[in-house]
Chains A and B, each alone.
Chain A
Amino acid sequence: MLDSIKRFFSDKKSGKVARDRMQIVLLHDRLSIEPEIMENIKNEILAVLSKYMEIDHQSISVRVEQGKDYAAIVSNVHVKRVFRQAHTHTTNTG
Protein backbone atom coordinates (compact mmCIF):
# COMPACT_ATOMS: atom_id res chain seq x y z
CA MET A 1 0.00 0.00 0.00
CA LEU A 2 2.66 2.48 1.12
CA ASP A 3 4.78 1.37 -1.83
CA SER A 4 2.06 2.01 -4.37
CA ILE A 5 1.40 5.47 -2.93
CA LYS A 6 5.13 6.22 -3.05
CA ARG A 7 5.30 5.01 -6.62
CA PHE A 8 2.30 7.13 -7.53
CA PHE A 9 4.03 10.26 -6.29
CA SER A 10 7.56 9.49 -7.45
CA ASP A 11 6.73 8.02 -10.86
CA LYS A 12 7.99 10.46 -13.45
CA LYS A 13 5.67 11.18 -16.33
CA SER A 14 6.85 9.57 -19.56
CA GLY A 15 7.41 12.98 -21.17
CA LYS A 16 9.94 13.89 -18.46
CA VAL A 17 11.56 10.46 -18.70
CA ALA A 18 11.99 11.01 -22.46
CA ARG A 19 13.51 14.46 -21.96
CA ASP A 20 15.98 13.25 -19.31
CA ARG A 21 17.01 10.28 -21.44
CA MET A 22 17.50 12.48 -24.51
CA GLN A 23 19.70 14.90 -22.58
CA ILE A 24 22.14 12.06 -21.89
CA VAL A 25 21.83 10.44 -25.32
CA LEU A 26 22.48 13.69 -27.22
CA LEU A 27 25.40 14.55 -24.93
CA HIS A 28 26.99 11.19 -25.74
CA ASP A 29 26.21 11.47 -29.48
CA ARG A 30 27.72 14.93 -29.70
CA LEU A 31 30.89 13.75 -27.96
CA SER A 32 31.93 11.65 -30.93
CA ILE A 33 34.57 14.24 -31.68
CA GLU A 34 36.18 14.53 -35.13
CA PRO A 35 39.95 13.79 -35.16
CA GLU A 36 40.90 17.33 -36.30
CA ILE A 37 38.87 18.89 -33.51
CA MET A 38 40.43 16.49 -31.01
CA GLU A 39 43.87 17.59 -32.27
CA ASN A 40 42.89 21.24 -31.72
CA ILE A 41 41.69 20.46 -28.21
CA LYS A 42 45.04 18.79 -27.42
CA ASN A 43 47.03 21.72 -28.76
CA GLU A 44 44.99 24.23 -26.82
CA ILE A 45 45.32 22.26 -23.57
CA LEU A 46 49.10 22.12 -24.15
CA ALA A 47 49.21 25.87 -24.78
CA VAL A 48 47.39 26.66 -21.55
CA LEU A 49 49.46 24.28 -19.41
CA SER A 50 52.73 25.51 -20.96
CA LYS A 51 52.15 28.91 -19.40
CA TYR A 52 52.44 27.43 -15.91
CA MET A 53 54.68 24.40 -16.20
CA GLU A 54 57.14 22.57 -18.40
CA ILE A 55 55.37 19.57 -19.86
CA ASP A 56 56.12 16.60 -22.06
CA HIS A 57 54.18 17.49 -25.25
CA GLN A 58 54.40 13.90 -26.50
CA SER A 59 52.73 12.53 -23.40
CA ILE A 60 49.32 14.15 -23.77
CA SER A 61 46.24 11.96 -24.08
CA VAL A 62 42.67 13.18 -24.36
CA ARG A 63 39.71 10.84 -24.38
CA VAL A 64 36.00 10.88 -23.85
CA GLU A 65 34.78 8.77 -20.99
CA GLN A 66 31.14 7.80 -21.01
CA GLY A 67 29.32 6.40 -18.02
CA LYS A 68 25.70 5.44 -17.60
CA ASP A 69 24.52 8.95 -16.77
CA TYR A 70 27.53 11.17 -17.36
CA ALA A 71 30.18 11.98 -19.92
CA ALA A 72 33.66 13.37 -19.21
CA ILE A 73 36.74 14.55 -21.06
CA VAL A 74 39.81 12.98 -19.44
CA SER A 75 43.27 14.30 -20.23
CA ASN A 76 46.65 13.14 -18.96
CA VAL A 77 49.88 15.11 -19.37
CA HIS A 78 53.30 14.47 -17.83
CA VAL A 79 54.63 17.48 -15.91
CA LYS A 80 58.41 17.98 -15.91
CA ARG A 81 58.76 21.17 -13.90
CA VAL A 82 56.46 23.90 -12.50
CA PHE A 83 57.34 27.57 -13.05
CA ARG A 84 57.35 29.92 -10.05
CA GLN A 85 55.67 32.57 -12.19
CA ALA A 86 53.35 32.07 -15.11
CA HIS A 87 55.09 32.55 -18.47
CA THR A 88 52.37 34.62 -20.03
CA HIS A 89 53.04 36.63 -23.15
CA THR A 90 51.94 40.20 -22.73
CA THR A 91 51.60 42.16 -25.91
CA ASN A 92 53.03 45.60 -25.94
CA THR A 93 50.57 47.95 -27.54
CA GLY A 94 52.57 51.12 -26.70
Chain B
Amino acid sequence: MPGKTIVITSGKGGVGKTTTVANLGTALAMRGLSVVMIDADIGLRNLDVVMGLENRIVYNVVDVIEGRCRLEQAMIRDRKINSLYLIPAAQTRDKDSVMPEAMKRLCDQLAENFDYVLIDCPAGIEQGFRNAIAGAQKALIVTTPEVSAIRDADRVIGLLEANMLKDIHLIINRVNQKMIKRGDMMSTEDICSLLSIPLIGIIPESEEVVISTNRGVPLVHDRKSQVAAAFKRIAGRLEGENIPIPLDNHEGSLLSKVKKIFGAG
Protein backbone atom coordinates (compact mmCIF):
# COMPACT_ATOMS: atom_id res chain seq x y z
CA MET B 1 0.00 0.00 0.00
CA PRO B 2 1.46 3.41 -0.90
CA GLY B 3 2.20 5.86 1.92
CA LYS B 4 0.31 9.02 2.81
CA THR B 5 1.24 12.27 1.07
CA ILE B 6 0.46 15.28 3.24
CA VAL B 7 1.02 18.96 2.48
CA ILE B 8 1.51 21.34 5.41
CA THR B 9 0.24 24.77 4.40
CA SER B 10 -1.09 28.03 5.87
CA GLY B 11 -1.31 30.88 3.38
CA LYS B 12 0.38 33.29 5.76
CA GLY B 13 4.11 33.04 6.39
CA GLY B 14 5.72 32.69 9.79
CA VAL B 15 2.97 30.69 11.48
CA GLY B 16 5.08 27.56 11.96
CA LYS B 17 4.75 25.39 8.84
CA THR B 18 8.42 24.39 8.71
CA THR B 19 8.59 23.76 12.47
CA THR B 20 5.48 21.59 12.13
CA VAL B 21 6.95 19.56 9.25
CA ALA B 22 10.23 19.03 11.14
CA ASN B 23 8.58 17.97 14.39
CA LEU B 24 5.78 15.91 12.87
CA GLY B 25 8.20 14.16 10.50
CA THR B 26 10.53 13.37 13.41
CA ALA B 27 7.65 12.26 15.66
CA LEU B 28 6.34 9.87 12.97
CA ALA B 29 9.83 8.49 12.30
CA MET B 30 10.38 7.99 16.05
CA ARG B 31 7.42 5.60 15.91
CA GLY B 32 9.40 3.48 13.47
CA LEU B 33 7.66 4.75 10.34
CA SER B 34 9.59 5.72 7.22
CA VAL B 35 9.21 9.42 6.48
CA VAL B 36 10.49 11.75 3.76
CA MET B 37 10.07 15.52 4.04
CA ILE B 38 10.15 17.67 0.90
CA ASP B 39 10.98 21.35 1.22
CA ALA B 40 8.80 22.81 -1.56
CA ASP B 41 9.73 26.41 -0.74
CA ILE B 42 11.95 26.84 -3.81
CA GLY B 43 14.25 29.84 -3.44
CA LEU B 44 13.66 30.19 0.31
CA ARG B 45 15.08 26.94 1.65
CA ASN B 46 14.65 26.50 5.42
CA LEU B 47 13.66 23.00 6.47
CA ASP B 48 17.33 21.93 6.25
CA VAL B 49 18.48 24.43 8.91
CA VAL B 50 15.56 23.62 11.20
CA MET B 51 16.56 19.93 10.92
CA GLY B 52 20.27 20.74 11.33
CA LEU B 53 21.10 19.19 7.94
CA GLU B 54 22.26 22.30 6.08
CA ASN B 55 25.86 21.06 5.75
CA ARG B 56 24.94 17.86 3.99
CA ILE B 57 23.16 19.25 0.95
CA VAL B 58 24.55 18.31 -2.43
CA TYR B 59 21.49 17.96 -4.65
CA ASN B 60 17.98 19.38 -4.25
CA VAL B 61 14.41 18.81 -5.37
CA VAL B 62 14.83 20.75 -8.63
CA ASP B 63 17.90 18.63 -9.50
CA VAL B 64 15.75 15.51 -9.09
CA ILE B 65 12.89 16.89 -11.16
CA GLU B 66 15.21 18.08 -13.94
CA GLY B 67 17.08 14.76 -13.96
CA ARG B 68 20.51 16.05 -12.84
CA CYS B 69 20.68 13.41 -10.12
CA ARG B 70 18.96 10.24 -9.01
CA LEU B 71 16.23 10.53 -6.38
CA GLU B 72 18.35 8.80 -3.70
CA GLN B 73 21.19 11.27 -4.23
CA ALA B 74 18.98 14.19 -3.15
CA MET B 75 17.63 12.44 -0.06
CA ILE B 76 19.51 13.41 3.11
CA ARG B 77 19.25 11.00 6.01
CA ASP B 78 18.51 12.53 9.43
CA ARG B 79 21.38 12.63 11.95
CA LYS B 80 19.46 10.78 14.65
CA ILE B 81 16.75 8.69 13.03
CA ASN B 82 17.50 6.23 10.25
CA SER B 83 14.03 6.16 8.73
CA LEU B 84 13.78 9.97 8.31
CA TYR B 85 14.88 11.77 5.13
CA LEU B 86 14.86 15.32 3.77
CA ILE B 87 14.75 16.47 0.16
CA PRO B 88 15.90 20.11 0.32
CA ALA B 89 14.59 22.99 -1.78
CA ALA B 90 16.74 24.65 -4.43
CA GLN B 91 18.07 27.94 -3.13
CA THR B 92 19.13 29.60 -6.37
CA ARG B 93 16.06 28.89 -8.49
CA ASP B 94 12.63 30.49 -8.46
CA LYS B 95 9.27 28.96 -7.78
CA ASP B 96 8.37 28.73 -11.46
CA SER B 97 11.16 26.23 -12.15
CA VAL B 98 8.92 23.36 -11.01
CA MET B 99 5.57 22.33 -12.48
CA PRO B 100 2.70 20.70 -10.58
CA GLU B 101 2.78 17.55 -12.75
CA ALA B 102 6.47 16.94 -11.98
CA MET B 103 5.84 17.42 -8.28
CA LYS B 104 2.95 14.97 -8.38
CA ARG B 105 5.11 12.33 -10.10
CA LEU B 106 7.81 12.81 -7.44
CA CYS B 107 5.33 12.46 -4.57
CA ASP B 108 3.76 9.34 -6.10
CA GLN B 109 7.19 7.78 -6.56
CA LEU B 110 8.18 8.53 -2.93
CA ALA B 111 4.86 7.23 -1.59
CA GLU B 112 5.75 3.83 -3.09
CA ASN B 113 8.67 3.52 -0.67
CA PHE B 114 7.73 5.62 2.38
CA ASP B 115 4.93 5.52 4.97
CA TYR B 116 4.72 9.31 4.95
CA VAL B 117 5.63 12.02 2.43
CA LEU B 118 5.39 15.43 4.14
CA ILE B 119 5.49 18.50 1.91
CA ASP B 120 6.53 21.86 3.39
CA CYS B 121 4.49 24.39 1.40
CA PRO B 122 5.73 27.94 0.76
CA ALA B 123 3.69 30.89 2.04
CA GLY B 124 1.33 32.49 -0.45
CA ILE B 125 -1.13 31.08 -2.97
CA GLU B 126 0.84 31.35 -6.21
CA GLN B 127 2.80 28.82 -8.30
CA GLY B 128 4.79 27.51 -5.31
CA PHE B 129 1.56 26.70 -3.49
CA ARG B 130 0.09 24.96 -6.54
CA ASN B 131 3.24 22.85 -6.88
CA ALA B 132 3.26 21.90 -3.21
CA ILE B 133 -0.36 20.74 -3.15
CA ALA B 134 -0.27 18.92 -6.51
CA GLY B 135 1.00 15.62 -5.12
CA ALA B 136 -0.83 15.63 -1.78
CA GLN B 137 -3.83 13.53 -0.79
CA LYS B 138 -4.23 15.25 2.53
CA ALA B 139 -3.59 18.76 3.89
CA LEU B 140 -2.76 20.06 7.34
CA ILE B 141 -3.52 23.75 7.78
CA VAL B 142 -1.33 25.52 10.32
CA THR B 143 -2.74 28.68 11.85
CA THR B 144 -2.15 30.83 14.93
CA PRO B 145 -4.84 32.57 16.99
CA GLU B 146 -4.37 35.81 15.04
CA VAL B 147 -6.82 37.42 12.65
CA SER B 148 -4.38 37.59 9.71
CA ALA B 149 -3.38 33.92 9.98
CA ILE B 150 -7.01 32.80 10.29
CA ARG B 151 -8.16 34.81 7.31
CA ASP B 152 -5.37 33.38 5.15
CA ALA B 153 -6.10 29.86 6.41
CA ASP B 154 -9.72 30.25 5.34
CA ARG B 155 -8.66 31.39 1.86
CA VAL B 156 -6.29 28.41 1.52
CA ILE B 157 -8.99 25.96 2.64
CA GLY B 158 -11.22 27.34 -0.13
CA LEU B 159 -8.43 26.89 -2.70
CA LEU B 160 -7.68 23.33 -1.56
CA GLU B 161 -11.35 22.38 -1.84
CA ALA B 162 -11.53 23.95 -5.30
CA ASN B 163 -8.54 21.73 -6.22
CA MET B 164 -10.43 18.65 -5.03
CA LEU B 165 -8.20 18.23 -1.97
CA LYS B 166 -10.84 17.74 0.69
CA ASP B 167 -9.08 15.77 3.43
CA ILE B 168 -8.08 18.82 5.49
CA HIS B 169 -7.25 19.08 9.18
CA LEU B 170 -6.36 22.06 11.35
CA ILE B 171 -3.37 22.61 13.64
CA ILE B 172 -3.60 25.66 15.89
CA ASN B 173 -0.07 26.78 16.75
CA ARG B 174 1.24 29.17 19.42
CA VAL B 175 -1.78 28.89 21.69
CA ASN B 176 -1.34 30.89 24.88
CA GLN B 177 -3.76 29.57 27.50
CA LYS B 178 -3.07 32.49 29.85
CA MET B 179 -4.20 34.98 27.21
CA ILE B 180 -7.26 32.89 26.32
CA LYS B 181 -8.19 32.70 29.99
CA ARG B 182 -8.13 36.46 30.40
CA GLY B 183 -10.08 36.89 27.16
CA ASP B 184 -7.30 38.40 25.08
CA MET B 185 -6.91 35.56 22.58
CA MET B 186 -9.48 33.75 20.45
CA SER B 187 -10.20 30.39 22.00
CA THR B 188 -9.43 27.22 20.09
CA GLU B 189 -13.20 26.57 19.95
CA ASP B 190 -13.71 29.99 18.34
CA ILE B 191 -11.07 29.25 15.70
CA CYS B 192 -12.51 25.82 14.90
CA SER B 193 -15.99 27.24 14.49
CA LEU B 194 -14.71 30.07 12.25
CA LEU B 195 -12.77 27.77 9.92
CA SER B 196 -15.17 24.81 10.20
CA ILE B 197 -12.63 22.06 9.48
CA PRO B 198 -11.75 19.25 11.90
CA LEU B 199 -9.00 19.94 14.45
CA ILE B 200 -6.05 17.54 14.70
CA GLY B 201 -3.95 19.30 17.32
CA ILE B 202 -3.14 22.34 19.43
CA ILE B 203 0.46 23.43 19.99
CA PRO B 204 1.17 25.65 23.00
CA GLU B 205 3.26 28.80 22.57
CA SER B 206 6.74 28.17 23.90
CA GLU B 207 10.24 29.62 23.92
CA GLU B 208 11.54 26.08 23.53
CA VAL B 209 10.72 26.20 19.80
CA VAL B 210 13.19 29.03 19.16
CA ILE B 211 15.86 27.29 21.23
CA SER B 212 15.49 23.97 19.41
CA THR B 213 15.54 25.75 16.04
CA ASN B 214 18.74 27.55 17.11
CA ARG B 215 20.34 24.17 17.69
CA GLY B 216 18.87 22.48 14.62
CA VAL B 217 17.39 19.63 16.65
CA PRO B 218 13.60 19.22 16.42
CA LEU B 219 11.90 19.75 19.77
CA VAL B 220 10.19 16.32 19.74
CA HIS B 221 13.54 14.84 20.83
CA ASP B 222 13.03 16.65 24.19
CA ARG B 223 11.13 14.22 26.41
CA LYS B 224 9.95 16.87 28.89
CA SER B 225 8.60 19.41 26.42
CA GLN B 226 4.86 20.14 26.25
CA VAL B 227 5.27 21.14 22.61
CA ALA B 228 6.95 17.81 21.87
CA ALA B 229 4.07 15.96 23.55
CA ALA B 230 1.57 17.92 21.44
CA PHE B 231 3.37 16.99 18.19
CA LYS B 232 3.61 13.34 19.24
CA ARG B 233 -0.16 13.31 19.85
CA ILE B 234 -0.74 14.68 16.33
CA ALA B 235 1.50 11.90 14.96
CA GLY B 236 -0.64 9.40 16.86
CA ARG B 237 -3.86 10.89 15.47
CA LEU B 238 -2.46 10.71 11.93
CA GLU B 239 -1.83 7.02 12.60
CA GLY B 240 -5.50 6.62 13.45
CA GLU B 241 -5.18 6.52 17.23
CA ASN B 242 -8.09 7.98 19.11
CA ILE B 243 -6.36 10.58 21.28
CA PRO B 244 -8.73 13.25 22.62
CA ILE B 245 -7.71 16.86 21.98
CA PRO B 246 -7.45 18.81 25.22
CA LEU B 247 -9.34 22.04 24.54
CA ASP B 248 -8.64 25.22 26.45
CA ASN B 249 -8.14 24.16 30.02
CA HIS B 250 -10.30 26.38 32.13
CA GLU B 251 -8.00 26.22 35.08
CA GLY B 252 -9.70 26.29 38.43
CA SER B 253 -12.62 24.19 37.29
CA LEU B 254 -12.91 20.96 39.21
CA LEU B 255 -12.77 18.82 36.07
CA SER B 256 -9.48 20.31 34.88
CA LYS B 257 -7.92 19.79 38.30
CA VAL B 258 -9.01 16.16 38.31
CA LYS B 259 -7.70 15.78 34.76
CA LYS B 260 -4.37 17.29 35.80
CA ILE B 261 -4.01 14.83 38.64
CA PHE B 262 -4.53 11.96 36.22
CA GLY B 263 -2.15 13.49 33.71
CA ALA B 264 -4.61 14.01 30.87
CA GLY B 265 -4.13 16.95 28.54
Q: Measuring CB to CB, which residues of chain A are less than 8 angstroms from any residue of chain B?
A: 13-16, 18-19, 21-23, 25-26, 29-30, 34
Q: State whether A26 touches B190 (Cβ < 8 A).
A: no
Q: State whether A25 touches B151 (Cβ < 8 A).
A: yes
Question: From B162, which residue of chain A is reached at the shortest CB distance?
Answer: A34
Query: Could you say which of A14, A19, A23, A30 contacts B158, with CB atoms under 8 Å apart?
Result: A30
Question: Secondary structure at chain A's binding surface: helix, strand, loop or mixed?
Answer: helix
Query: Could you say which of B150, B155, B182, B187 contacts A22, with CB atoms under 8 Å apart?
Result: B150
Q: State whether B154 touches A15 (Cβ < 8 A).
A: no
9 cross-chain pairs, A with B, having the tightest CB-CB distances, nearest first: A13-B183, A19-B190, A14-B184, A15-B183, A18-B186, A15-B185, A26-B154, A15-B186, A19-B186
Enumerate chain A residues within 8 angstroms of B184, measured Cβ to Cβ.
13-15
Q: State whether A23 touches B183 (Cβ < 8 A).
A: no
Enumerate chain A residues within 8 angstroms of B186, measured Cβ to Cβ.
15, 18-19, 22
Enumerate chain A residues within 8 angstroms of B162, measured Cβ to Cβ.
34
A34 and B187 alpha carbons, distance in the complex (Å): 32
Enumerate chain A residues within 8 angstroms of B154, measured Cβ to Cβ.
26, 29-30
Asked whether any CB of chain A lies closer than 8 Å to the CB of B69, the reply is no
Query: Could you say which of A16, A18, A34 contacts B147, with CB atoms under 8 Å apart?
Result: A18
A23 and B180 alpha carbons, distance in the complex (Å): 18
Enumerate chain A residues within 8 angstroms of B187, measured Cβ to Cβ.
15
Question: From A23, which residue of chain B is reached at the shortest CB distance?
Answer: B194
For residue B29, give the distance in angstroms from its CB to the closest CB of chain A: 36
For residue A19, give the distance in angstroms from its CB to the closest CB of chain B: 4
Q: State whether B180 touches A15 (Cβ < 8 A).
A: yes
For residue B10, give the distance in angstroms from its CB to the closest CB of chain A: 16
Query: Could you say which of B182, B183, B194 contacts A26, with CB atoms under 8 Å apart?
Result: B194
Enumerate chain A residues within 8 angstroms of B147, measured Cβ to Cβ.
18, 21-22, 25
What are 22 A-B residue pairs whose CB atoms fall within 8 Å in the complex?
A13-B183, A14-B184, A15-B179, A15-B183, A15-B184, A15-B185, A15-B186, A15-B190, A18-B147, A21-B147, A22-B147, A22-B150, A22-B151, A22-B194, A23-B194, A25-B151, A26-B150, A26-B154, A26-B194, A29-B155, A30-B154, A30-B158
**Residue among A13, A26, A34 with the most chain B CB within 10 A?**
A26
Enumerate chain B residues within 8 angstroms of A26, measured Cβ to Cβ.
150-151, 154, 194
Which B158-210 residues have a C-beta within 8 angstroms of A? 158, 162, 179-180, 182-187, 190, 194
A23 and B191 alpha carbons, distance in the complex (Å): 10
A15 and B179 alpha carbons, distance in the complex (Å): 9
A19 and B147 alpha carbons, distance in the complex (Å): 8
Question: From A32, which residue of chain B is reached at the shortest CB distance?
Answer: B158
For residue A9, give the distance in angstroms from its CB to the closest CB of chain B: 13
For residue A91, give the distance in angstroms from its CB to the closest CB of chain B: 32
